[in-house]
Chain A
Amino acid sequence: MKATLRLDRKVCAGAGLCAAMDPTHFQLAADGRATLLVAELADAEAVEAAQDVIDCCPSEAISLAETA
């Protein structure tokens, strides 16, 4: 399964949890809110790891779109 990460920067509160959990895909921008470094998730393992981050985010700012 492949999927793409979506991040709603208007909803992000900049708690920094995603960047701490998964610095490969997330980082904090100068304004303190998260940005995506890589949006594409190549395999099931990456999707599962991303789901962990999504479930732990305090702002519900991250979601997944399945691409194939």
Chain B
Amino acid sequence: MTAPILSPPPLFTGEYFQNPYPAFTWLRENSPVHPLTFPVGNLPMWLVTRYEDVRAILGDHNRFSSDAPRWATEDFKKAGMAFGTGTVIEQILSVLDPPDHTRVRKLAMGAFTPRRTATWKEPTEQIVQSALDRMQRMEQPDVMEFASIVPAEVIGRVLGIPLDRFKEILHAIERALHVDPEHTDESTKAYQEIVDYGREVITEKRRNPGDDLTTTFIDARDGDDRLDEDELVALVALMIMVGLDTTRNLIGSGVLALLDHPDQRDLLRAEPQLADTAVEEFLRYDGALTVALIRFTKEDVEVAGTRIPAGSTVIAALQSANRDPAYFAHPDRLDITRNGDARHLGLGHGLHNCLGAALARLETRIAVPAVFERFPDLSLAVPRSDLRYGESWLLRSLESLPVHLNSKE
């Protein structure tokens, strides 16, 4: 028998980034509302890991705000942890509280309803097939390249912009989210690049309007005055930022999950109608975001018997909630037929639940099965233990997923 671990495992550092699940298990059992010092900037925070508490926090924007400029501590802002400090990204939809949130979300939601999203099915299928063609020609095929191309091209078409610069933008996103208190200007610069790109896109679209989302947003600004100019820029920047990395991660983790669970891969091939529940399971099993965007307490609150004072920084661990055995039977097992357990929190919950959920689901439902349809004998080209995740406090992002496309003979 192994001795019980008495102290909490290291968080937001080292091995945690590669596999946070053992740490989450420990926290759920021993310290579900856990005070910690965030390694970057030595910021005091609370990490919440049980399903019911995570869901309750995300559903309670009146006490847990996402609005960092308004509610975060000065130390938090100084460490560069707030999104886009000093740029219009500071006020993206993801951090707004009502009533501004309601006004902007209403406007953006129209573009991502299940019905609107369904019209993207055929274009997405074409994009996936041509991305698979490219993968087939690669000397060292990498599923993550495929997984990057698909959302970039889809969101490029939705916004009506050529995303020939998407690698540059992906890199800017990565640099923006990389928090280093010694060099916060680097992150600000990266955010500014994303904003500048958004402005360029808007300028171009004002000149050449099209049947696309950017033009719809511009009309809402110039026609109906439902957005101010900064909000318009922030909204386009947001679409670029969140449409790329997140779906990339989900497609990659879905493929990896099926490589790790050949029985589930075979089941999905035999019963393609399971694709919908499979996508929900990918979101639960290893979703794109490890934790939710940070919340700030607007007043003293109590979570599962622990008092958190007003002005605190709270991290709700989505992926820990999604593996909570109190809500999911055999939570560490991938089961694409899972149905009837609790709803996963892989797309968030409450006011700020994922706006692009329907599009992310559509892309993943098409892309992941298509990989195994094209390459039934797909296998890892490196030892499983060589796979690395980016060291991000927020995103669960595989760096690369090298594969053999055909069985080795």
Q: List residues of chain A with CB under 8 Å of any chain B CB.
A: 13-17, 19-21, 28, 32-33, 52, 55-60
Contact = CB atoms under 8 A, between A and B. Distances in A.
Interface string B207-246: 0000000000000000000000000000000000000000
Per CB-CB distance, the 10 closest pairs between chain A and chain B, nearest first, are A32-B343, A20-B350, A55-B106, A15-B353, A14-B343, A20-B351, A16-B349, A16-B350, A56-B105, A52-B102
Interface stretch (B112-120, B195-203, B303-311): B112-120
B351 A17 contact: yes
6 contacts: A15-B349, A32-B342, A58-B113, A58-B353, A58-B357, A60-B115
Given A55-B110, A56-B105, A17 B353 contact: yes
A60 B357 CA distance: 12
A17 B350 contact: yes
B358 A21 contact: no
B295 to A, nearest CB: 13
A21 B98 contact: yes
Contacts of A19: 59, 350
A52 B105 CA distance: 9
Interface residues of B, number: 27
A28 B52 CA distance: 13
Contacts of B102: 21, 52, 56
Contacts of B354: 15, 58
Interface in B331-349: 342-343, 347-349
B61 A20 contact: yes
Contacts of A15: 347-350, 353-354, 357
Contacts of B350: 15-17, 19-20
B361 to A, nearest CB: 9
A32 to B, nearest CB: 4
B355 interface: yes
A53 B285 CA distance: 30
Given A56-B105, A56-B106, A59-B114, 16 more contacts: A14-B343, A15-B349, A15-B357, A16-B349, A16-B350, A20-B59, A32-B343, A52-B102, A55-B106, A55-B110, A57-B109, A58-B353, A58-B355, A58-B358, A60-B114, A60-B115
Nearest to B349: A16
- For A14, A55, A56, A59, which residue has the most chain B Cβ atoms within 10 angstroms? A56
Interface of B: 55, 58-61, 98, 102, 105-106, 109-110, 112-115, 342-343, 347-351, 353-355, 357-358
Contacts of B355: 58
Contacts of A16: 55, 58-59, 349-350, 353
B222 to A, nearest CB: 21
Contacts of A57: 109
A44 B126 CA distance: 46
A59 B60 CA distance: 20
A17 B109 CA distance: 12
A13 B343 contact: yes
A19 B61 CA distance: 11
Contacts of A32: 342-343
Nearest to A58: B357
Contacts of B343: 13-14, 32-33
- For B59, B342, B347, B355, which residue has the most chain A Cβ atoms within 10 angstroms? B59
Nearest to B115: A60
B276 to A, nearest CB: 11
Contacts of B109: 55-58
Nearest to B105: A56
B316 to A, nearest CB: 13
A60 B114 CA distance: 7
Contacts of B58: 16
Contacts of A13: 343, 357
B352 to A, nearest CB: 8
B216 to A, nearest CB: 14
Nearest to B98: A21
Contacts of A21: 98, 102, 351
Given A20-B60, A20-B61, A58 B112 contact: yes
Nearest to A52: B102
Given A20-B61, A58-B358, A60-B115, A52 B106 contact: yes
B350 to A, nearest CB: 4
